[in-house]
Amino acid sequence: MASEFDLIRRHFIRPTHHSVLGVGDDCAIVAPRAGFELLVSTDMLVAGTHFFADTDPEGLGWKTAAVNISDIAAMGGEPRWITLALSLPAADEAWIAALAKGFADCCDAFGVDWIGGDTTRGPLNLCATVFGEAPAGAAIRRSGAQPGDEIWISGQPGLAALGLQSLLGRIVLADAAREACLTALHRPQPRVGLGLALRGIASAMLDVSDGLAGDLGHVLESSAVGALLEEDLLPLNALRAAGADAEQARHALFSGGDDYELVFAAPADKRTDVLVLAAALAIPLTRIGHIVSEPGIALATVGGTREPISARGYDHFPG
């Protein structure tokens, strides 16, 4: 069996493109650009909690990088550098090689230098920390939403949740849809280009990791506002077409996580800008409601009633 240092050398040392010093010393060294702020986020993925222990390691590597990079996208930042610490029950080299490949492929796809990490023995756990840059003051926070702003969501949230339900045998999906749902679950695409393009347009933004209701709730709480969503604007059709019934589709949209789409608020007079952006980037951007001053999330139904939507997303330690 190869030693820890051999394993690191063989699989975890990749060429860097915009770093001063990569793997191999006490610290990596990078040179942040003058006039930019540094955005930092860390995410830990645990076997049995976030993924099945027997999950495909290459997909797991991709996803570990992707969910971190998504946090940079969610603030309109440019992802630049990432570290990966991992704890492994055994040094299975083929598994490690596949994990490293998936992680590096995602980094390469988004121009991120993999600059360091840590490898140790223990229950399977992956912790990445990602660093992005944005011009000083330009990062899009959660706290800027104003009453009257329109609420938008990118792509097709809910697919990853349907993929998970399908793996758990709780739903039968159409064959064509099943692949799209599993791809959404295993190979999420952080919306980096969209996040960058929304600087100057979005007033508040985050990525949907724990379900639209809970994550939108974080924006609302940070901004001290509420939301009125319109049932007939919600992107439920594709979820129904995939094989979900009305309840499953709504649950996947509001409470399913793991799509890493961006939800954002933008002033109503920016609607054309948003639609132009959607066309230019070929990413669906769906207006689903608007910000109101009353706290909480309400849904204006097609029947003309208003229903409260629970703002609780997925909570690892529910009260």
Indicate the residue among 28 and 164 with the shorter CB distance to a second copy: 28
Indicate the residue among 75 and 151 with the shorter CB distance to a second copy: 75
Least distance from a second copy to the Cβ atom of residue 312, Å: 8
Q: How many Cα atoms sit within 13 Å of 106 on the Cβ side?
A: 32
Indicate the residue among 142 and 178 with the shorter CB distance to a second copy: 142
- The H or E element containing residue 288 is strand 285-292
Q: Which amino acid is at 65?
A: A
Least distance from a second copy to the Cβ atom of residue 164, Å: 17
296-300 vs 204-208, strand pairing mode: unpaired
Place of tokens 């230098």: 113
Q: Do the Cβ atoms of 152 and 227 come closer than 8 Å?
A: no
Indicate the residue among 139 and 291 with the shorter CB distance to a second copy: 139
Measured between alpha carbons, how far is residue 168 from residues 51, 120, 163, 164 in Å? 12, 31, 9, 6
Least distance from a second copy to the Cβ atom of residue 190, Å: 11
Least distance from a second copy to the Cβ atom of residue 62, Å: 19
- The H or E element containing residue 82 is strand 78-88
CA dihedral of 143, 67, 285, 270, whole degrees rounded to 10: 30
Residues forming beta bridges with residue 228, ordered by sequence position = 290, 298
Indicate the residue among 207 and 261 with the shorter CB distance to a second copy: 207
Indicate the residue among 123 and 179 with the shorter CB distance to a second copy: 123
Measured between alpha carbons, how far is residue 302 from residues 84, 123, 228, 233, 305 in Å? 47, 48, 13, 10, 7
Least distance from a second copy to the Cβ atom of residue 230, Å: 26
Indicate the residue among 141 and 199 with the shorter CB distance to a second copy: 141
**What CA–CA distance (Å, rounded) separates 263 from 70?**
12
